[in-house]
Each structure stands twice: as structure tokens, then as C-alpha cells.
A = this chain, B = another copy of it.
């Protein structure tokens, strides 16, 4: 079960890009962290940018997969949003480095790569937008400016990656539940989140990220 060199490279990159930024991370830093020479690095990646793109793609692909898989079995908008928040928070708490890279380094991408990555991000955000709209239409959400509310929610949840520590006092599932509560409050939703949503979100998280809260 030892890691392959390729995996070691990827992990080193994720950690360093998150800590020092893409431009702040040198090829030598990467090589040293992966335990190989900087020339050998080029067996496992194309350019440094390819490495970045790979990290971002995988992270966003998983987020999209998780969101879609979850919503497939949830009809109630409050449940759906609850599940989205739970998943998003779990993902960002469990993979803070990956998600921070996705969040912070878009500007480091070349034009064509940026277009692709932003496309994925937009797909993901569209899922949130749709869910919110459905809740508003159903009369269970109160969101005068749905777009503003969506962005507020997303930024709030994404921010978890910037401060959550598994070594802190709050276990991951408690954190996620708390955030789901905050989200429903923001939407003026009277109903407390039902267990089903959180249950479903946890199942999917376990499948997609192998998170076991």
C-alpha cells in the first residue's frame, strides 16, 4: 500500500501549492518534498501548470460527482441544500489543501486552462443556484437576492478550508451539522434539517472522498 512516486508528487504539490502558492513554490521545492530530483519530476508531470490543472480538475470533478450523486435521491429543497452544505463543508475540511488550491490559484492558470477549470466551477455553482431557486419557488426559502445568498453561502462554506483543523475540538460531523443549520437560517427556512439529508451526504462523502466522520 506504499504510495507510488506519482502520488507522492501530487501530494507534495497539493501541500506546497496550498501553503506557499503556485508561484511561490519552486520546482526544486516540489522535487525535494517528493523525494526525487527535479529532473525526475518531469516523468510524472508535464509542466508545473499541468500538475496544477490536474489537482484542480480532480478536486472539482469529485465535488461535482458528489453533488450530483447526492441530489439524485433528495427531493426536498431544504434537504437538498442541507446535503450540499454538508458535502461542501466536509470536502473542504477534509481536503483543505486541494480546495484552497482550487480557490486561490485560478489566476495562475493560462487562458485555456483557466477556461476549463472555471467551467467546472460554474457547473458546480449552478447546482447550488438551482437548489436555491427551487426552494424559493417552493416557498420554503426566503432569499430576496438569490445570487447574493448563493455567493454568501458558498464563501462561508468554502472558508472552512482556511481554518478548520481536525485536531481542533469540533468533530467533522458536528461542524457540518452546524453549517447546515447556519445555511438554513440564512435562507429563513423554518424546518430543521432532517436526518436523511445529512445521512445521504455522509454516504456520498464516504464514497467520493473516503471520509469517515
Contacts and interface: CB of A to CB of B under 8 A. Distances in A.
Interface of A: 19-24, 104, 107-108, 144-145, 148-149, 151-156, 158-160, 162-163, 170, 175, 178-179, 182, 185-186, 188
B148 A156 contact: no
A155 B151 contact: no
A19 B105 CA distance: 10
A108 B24 contact: yes
A85 B144 CA distance: 18
Contacts of A145: 170, 178
Contacts of A148: 170, 175, 178
A178 to B, nearest CB: 6
A172 to B, nearest CB: 12
Main secondary structure of the interface of A (DSSP, over half): helix
A18 to B, nearest CB: 9
11 contacts: A21-B107, A23-B24, A24-B107, A145-B170, A148-B170, A153-B156, A155-B156, A155-B159, A155-B160, A159-B159, A185-B185
Interface centre among A23, A155, A185 (most CB of B within 10 A): A155
Contacts of A151: 159-160, 163
A19 B108 CA distance: 9
Given A155-B159, A159-B156, A185-B188, A107 B19 contact: yes
B152 A156 contact: yes
A12 B159 CA distance: 28
A120 to B, nearest CB: 17
Given A23-B23, A158-B159, A170-B145, A182 B152 contact: yes
Contacts of A23: 20-24
A186 B179 CA distance: 10
A49 to B, nearest CB: 12
